[in-house]
């Protein structure tokens, strides 16, 4: 196991910013401490009820922290994780509008995955690194120094039970994958579905693939499931820092201007060539004749 700890890694990364004060590193290490605590509580089966949020402290950074993504998996002992995103805090007293920054403004993003081992995966804008918790030392140790998403893949992940609600470009993509080497793709694909968002991200960072949680017509008042600020943005930064692509299916997630703190979007991420293929299918003439004619994503950025 590599002897470099998370603390040493952050110190080395800080050298890229000679004027840095150390506050950023302290914030990331606080997140790591929180993830260690969650891992311990999960292992003991002693998760407490909802806790009172601490009093806000005005500082240089804004932290969005989702302590238990896919919490419904706990009852059946499936993987769960935490997601986090760090933004620079605008001047003045905190206002919720300060959170409405596009994904490319994130200073850092990452996740913890609680499984047989506890993993912390992080980007501070210079690639993606993975750390494994050494339970004896109580330290996150660098075990995956340069995670990269291969451009091509033979795996895709989607909840196929929602097929009848998908837009036509998504149906077309999945149909072509399922037809295998006899179909237009000329190769066999495997389908994966872990039903754990953080675990899906980790699998793709480790071995590639494409994940689809597209908008659909299942719930007319909520055409998409994943939250832009707390889920899609940190995932998108991690995936793109690792050489992959993250998209709504139509445009890059990191370019979206958030409109509300609880805004939800469709999300497609993973191996770049597959995500770009899905975007092309959405852009082709006639693709807009979909099952969702009333739901258009709103953004200040025009599609290329």
Burial class (CB in 10 A: 0-12, 13-18, 19+), 144: middle
Which single residue is written with the structure tokens 């998409």? 224
Give the pLDDT mean for 180-193.
Answer: 96
Q: Which domains does the chain have, with CATH numbers?
A: 6-144 (3.30.540.10), 155-283 (3.40.190.80)
Q: What is the mean pLDDT of the chain?
A: 90
Q: Mean pLDDT, to the nearest integer, of 111-134?
A: 96
pLDDT score of 49:
60
pTM: 0.91
Per residue in 60-86, pLDDT tens? 999 999 999 988 888 888 889 999 999
Cβ(114)–Cβ(38) below 8 Å: yes
β-pairing verdict for 267-270 and 210-213: antiparallel
Q: Is the pLDDT of residue 295 over 80?
A: no
159 is in an annotated binding site: yes
pLDDT of residue 46: 74
User: How far is 45 from 218, CA to CA, in rounded Å?
Assistant: 34
pLDDT for position 280 = 98
Residues above pLDDT 90, as percent of the chain: 74
Tokens coding 19: 């004027």
Q: How far apart are CA 136 and CA 158, in angstroms?
A: 37
HSE of 230, CA atoms in CB hemisphere, 13 A: 18
């Amino acid at each position: 196991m590599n002897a470099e700890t998370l603390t040493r890694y952050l110190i080395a990364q800080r050298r890229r910013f000679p004027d840095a004060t150390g506050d950023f590193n302290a914030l990331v290490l606080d997140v790591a401490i929180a993830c260690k605590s969650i891992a311990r509580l999960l292992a003991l089966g002693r998760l407490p009820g909802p806790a009172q949020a601490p009093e806000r402290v005005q500082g240089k950074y804004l932290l969005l922290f989702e302590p238990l993504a896919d919490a419904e998996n706990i009852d059946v002992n499936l993987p769960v994780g935490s997601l986090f995103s760090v933004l620079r805090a605008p001047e003045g007293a905190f206002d919720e509008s300060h959170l409405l920054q596009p994904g490319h403004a994130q200073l850092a993003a990452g996740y913890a995955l609680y499984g047989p081992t506890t993993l912390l995966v992080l980007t501070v804008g210079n690639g993606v690194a993975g750390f494994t918790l050494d339970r004896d030392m109580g330290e996150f140790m660098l075990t995956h120094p340069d995670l990269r998403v291969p451009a091509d893949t033979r795996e895709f992940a989607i909840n196929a039970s929602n097929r009848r609600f998908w837009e036509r470009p998504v149906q077309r993509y999945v149909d072509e994958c399922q037809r295998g080497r006899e179909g237009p793709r000329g190769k066999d694909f495997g389908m994966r579905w872990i039903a754990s968002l953080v675990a899906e991200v980790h699998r793709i960072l480790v071995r590639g693939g494409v994940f689809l949680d597209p908008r659909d017509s299942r719930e007319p008042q909520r055409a998409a499931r994943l939250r832009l600020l707390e889920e899609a943005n940190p995932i998108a930064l991690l995936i793109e820092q690792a050489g992959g692509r993250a998209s709504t299916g139509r445009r890059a997630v990191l370019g979206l201007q958030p409109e509300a703190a609880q805004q939800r979007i469709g999300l497609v991420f993973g191996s770049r060539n597959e995500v770009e293929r899905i975007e092309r299918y959405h852009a082709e003439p006639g693709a807009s004749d979909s099952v969702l004619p009333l739901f258009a994503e709103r953004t200040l950025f025009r599609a290329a």
